[in-house]
Structure 1
């Protein structure tokens, strides 16, 4: 077992539960805890971090767990989750911010778009979203890509849906299914899954899911939601960038002339890309180096995954491959390479590079706290005995573990609107069932939960309003396009998970 998997905290099989309550009371405790989280986040508009803390308290009270044990269990889970996932979120945010500030994102977009025709633009936008979305969180990817989508649609005459849906699908799929994004990484940690299997299976599932929910679905969306790019749509994108700063995004996508604040429009872009770059940038980074900086962490993790399949455990080579494929090591390598290949290559002074890296952290602080609090909630689910009771009921119901994980995540996603909360809570509920699975199927359970967490984004999801404002859509149009796209992603990914589960 690697160092990554040692950073786990679920109650070991055979440990004495903290509660002596009966099965019915424990089930009631789980429902009360989840209901508290949902009500506080959706109705009372509490921050999810506070909602999860209070939900944990209610769970412990109804399950008759001593208060001091509730606190201890929550803190243990919070600390372990933050230690195993928080570092990765921070490094990923740094890499994504430097990619934007250096103009590397512009280079990737411009190079790909300049080589494709009008008919293949939807596929190009899906490819761009796939590359840029690897190190970036969904909200940040939206901020960077949407002005590009609008500009491409306007200049080429292609409808907004045909180029926008593939871009959004690429970002969403990677966010929900592929490490090193926080959702999959947290589920890997909570379920004791193998990173290598999850990464390989996630990439395999992501490809057909993106093809179906991206370029193919965009053809139908174009007829269902016929949206053309007007002169005022660019202004809407700029307003949205400002209005969503509190969602963890940075103002890297305003469509505006050079202005104070340390950013300027990239005037060297062959298609006039409107993504903002740092004022210290004097030249464009290399396309090849920009792509390598983005995909290096994933390649290093894939090398480790291949080693797990082909190299004997305990050998020196296996130890080396395990080390370089650790997510924290891989992401750190990506950041260090980006400092040279993007920052210095773009003419950014050393101080500006470090300033850019640091400016990527405030926006993800909220995400780290939510993930950590979810880990505390999950730990009390396990320590109190609730998770084992739910696992027993599921086992006697003879339901597929993969389908159960997806259904639980769907329910919490619909209730809370948060993919992260859905992933964490669902992983905690179905965690004990994972003890009966081998590593390949445990990785598929992670992906089933991730797929469920993307189901039907609607008005209680910040992403819903982010897309609505950026694209200048009505609520109805957003439901017909974005919400339907998310549902297609979730269902297609589940089908792929079940197919893989039948053959591996």
Structure 2
């Protein structure tokens, strides 16, 4: 690889890491500056660099910006309507007594698809506390399983904004990424549960007194009042029927839904109804993927530019992510929210959702800008040639880039978008499947959540773990699922690549 182009790539990535870690600038500005540095070191003219940045930014947001905005809007309505809580309770009932860690991991993975994992964990943590309080044991296991379940889909399954952005940057099929992400989640869930069940009892004594008192004090008071002493298979455990106490659950709907009119029933969202704004768009997108594959196979145009047949056009239309997620928003607003919800309040929630998505949209666009500079400057082609000359499987490049960036600066979203930006110019040259490259970016970004990751602090503070206990519990479980994804990537590459 040409030394100048290699230097341009190394300095570009180093710029992102240094600016995010050592300055007051965020990832959006860091990515733009990295694009400038990369282009200048690679020998591009100043005007060519600016043109590449604006072109890459616009093309990327043109394809994925609307979808990210719609996705976070659905998540916000699921949160405030009580639908997320209804889905969580449904999972607890399905798994039943004795399988609470499996239920919590599954709850986490489901809720984190539409809801950011930071806020999702805050919403769902009372479920873990309620179960542990009645059982009088096992809080760390349940809290870690919940948090790591959220990590899986937060990193692997669109319409979570990070994977969604990666899909757009690499030009992968969204339906295929959803299916593979869900498959990876299901296959990695046993690692989450087994690690949580192994490490949880070891760390239970390390829980801070404040959290221990908040979780277990009430059960101890009840036991003392009854004149009993609970040990092992204590009354507290025996009384657990798979249903957390209603008083320990988060509030069903947001109080801002408004008071119902006189005589109206209290608004409550069931699990089936609550799942519609999430399931319907996902099913429509996957239906589009399946229909298009069948149509292409019938036409004999696999690998060529695809023009849908007349019979396939309706499925391609309603399965387009923009249309599918618009349908999801309509279902969320008109099915989940009661008819008396103030219009201004709904608009306020949409504004909150937009503000939470704003920075991710900017980071995604800046990632597209960096990718375009890598293409136009020749760095992408040079890197592809260098990789082709080695024995390293090409799909490991995005995985390793995402891993290194995550370790350096902490954000999984920034790590996967950076990896996708670097990888995008290589996809066609090396013959990497866009699907494999996208999943490699997202899986690589799961490694070792620790002090520089905001979610690390959310989980460990709520769990009551500090110091080495926090590293053994939370950093360990995230690294375990990262390691578990490596053999799955090799299998996926054999099947798809």
Pairwise TM-score range, normalised by the shorter structure: 0.7 to 0.9
Match among 332, 338, 343 for residue 338 of structure 1: 332
Quote the residue 2:271 is aligned against: 287
Quote the residue 1:215 is aligned against: 193
CA pair 102-279 structure 1, distance change in 2 beyond 3 A:
same
**In the TM superposition, what is the alpha-carbon distance from 1:492 to its structure 2 partner?**
1.3
**In the TM superposition, what is the alpha-carbon distance from 1:209 to its structure 2 partner?**
0.9
Are the aligned partners of 1:102 and 1:348 in contact in 2 as well (CA < 8 Å)?
Answer: no
Per-residue CA distance 1:202-241 (angstroms, 9 max, x = gap): 22222111222x222211121442258788339999xxxx
**In the TM superposition, what is the alpha-carbon distance from 1:139 to its structure 2 partner?**
2.1
CA distance, structure 2, for counterparts of residue 90 and residue 175 of structure 1: 16
CA distance, structure 2, for counterparts of residue 235 and residue 23 of structure 1: 61
Quote the residue 2:34 is aligned against: 55
Are the aligned partners of 2:195 and 2:477 in contact in 1 as well (CA < 8 Å)?
Answer: yes
CA pair 50-475 structure 1, distance change in 2 beyond 3 A:
farther
Match among 467, 471, 474 for residue 466 of structure 2: 474
CA pair 84-156 structure 1, distance change in 2 beyond 3 A:
farther
Quote the residue 2:248 is aligned against: 272
**In the TM superposition, what is the alpha-carbon distance from 1:424 to its structure 2 partner?**
1.9
CA distance, structure 1, for counterparts of residue 394 and residue 293 of structure 2: 25
Quote the residue 1:112 is aligned against: 91
**In the TM superposition, what is the alpha-carbon distance from 1:92 to its structure 2 partner?**
1.5
**In the TM superposition, what is the alpha-carbon distance from 1:138 to its structure 2 partner?**
2.2
Quote the residue 2:351 is aligned against: 358
Quote the residue 1:389 is aligned against: 382
CA pair 280-429 structure 1, distance change in 2 beyond 3 A:
closer
Deviates more, 1:192-201 or 1:304-313: 304-313
Match among 154, 158, 167 for residue 146 of structure 2: 167
**In the TM superposition, what is the alpha-carbon distance from 1:290 to its structure 2 partner?**
0.2
CA distance, structure 1, for counterparts of residue 245 and residue 282 of structure 2: 27
CA distance, structure 1, for counterparts of residue 70 and residue 132 of structure 2: 33
Are the aligned partners of 1:160 and 1:228 in contact in 2 as well (CA < 8 Å)?
Answer: no
Per-residue CA distance 1:457-487 (angstroms, 9 max, x = gap): 2222222222222322213222111111111
Are the aligned partners of 1:41 and 1:48 in contact in 2 as well (CA < 8 Å)?
Answer: yes
Corresponding position: 1:489 with 2:473: no
What are the ranges of 5 or more consecutive residues in structure 2 without an aligned counterpart?
216-243, 259-265, 299-306
| 1:34-433 to 2 correspondences below 5 Å | 34-114=13-93, 116-212=95-191, 214-226=192-204, 232-233=210-211, 270=246, 272-275=248-251, 277-280=254-257, 282-311=266-295, 312=298, 314-344=308-338, 347-433=340-426
Instruction: Look up the SS of the partner of 1:46 in the other structure.
Output: coil
Are the aligned partners of 2:292 and 2:308 in contact in 1 as well (CA < 8 Å)?
Answer: no
Per-residue CA distance 1:382-415 (angstroms, 9 max, x = gap): 1111111111111101211122221121111111
CA distance, structure 1, for counterparts of residue 177 and residue 208 of structure 2: 42
**In the TM superposition, what is the alpha-carbon distance from 1:446 to its structure 2 partner?**
1.0
Over the residues paired in the alignment, what is the CA RMSD in angstroms?
2.5
Tell me the TM-score normalized by structure 2.
0.84
Are the aligned partners of 1:160 and 1:229 in contact in 2 as well (CA < 8 Å)?
Answer: no
CA distance, structure 2, for counterparts of residue 235 and residue 64 of structure 1: 62
Instruction: Look up the SS of the partner of 2:98 in the other structure.
Output: coil
CA distance, structure 1, for counterparts of residue 85 and residue 370 of structure 2: 40
CA pair 320-235 structure 1, distance change in 2 beyond 3 A:
farther
Are the aligned partners of 1:205 and 1:497 in contact in 2 as well (CA < 8 Å)?
Answer: no
Are the aligned partners of 1:132 and 1:294 in contact in 2 as well (CA < 8 Å)?
Answer: no
Are the aligned partners of 2:153 and 2:160 in contact in 1 as well (CA < 8 Å)?
Answer: yes
CA pair 285-426 structure 1, distance change in 2 beyond 3 A:
same
CA distance, structure 2, for counterparts of residue 227 and residue 95 of structure 1: 39
Are the aligned partners of 1:116 and 1:124 in contact in 2 as well (CA < 8 Å)?
Answer: yes
Are the aligned partners of 2:257 and 2:338 in contact in 1 as well (CA < 8 Å)?
Answer: no
Quote the residue 2:450 is aligned against: 458
- Pick the structure with greater CA Rg: 2
**In the TM superposition, what is the alpha-carbon distance from 1:289 to its structure 2 partner?**
0.4
Are the aligned partners of 1:390 and 1:430 in contact in 2 as well (CA < 8 Å)?
Answer: no
CA pair 154-269 structure 1, distance change in 2 beyond 3 A:
closer
CA distance, structure 2, for counterparts of residue 227 and residue 437 of structure 1: 51
Instruction: Look up the SS of the partner of 1:279 in the other structure.
Output: helix
**In the TM superposition, what is the alpha-carbon distance from 1:303 to its structure 2 partner?**
1.2
Are the aligned partners of 1:468 and 1:475 in contact in 2 as well (CA < 8 Å)?
Answer: no
**In the TM superposition, what is the alpha-carbon distance from 1:145 to its structure 2 partner?**
1.9
CA distance, structure 2, for counterparts of residue 325 and residue 116 of structure 1: 32
CA pair 503-59 structure 1, distance change in 2 beyond 3 A:
closer
Figure out how many residues of one structure are paired with residues of the other and give that number.
Answer: 450
What are the ranges of 5 or more consecutive residues in structure 1 without an aligned counterpart?
1-21, 238-267
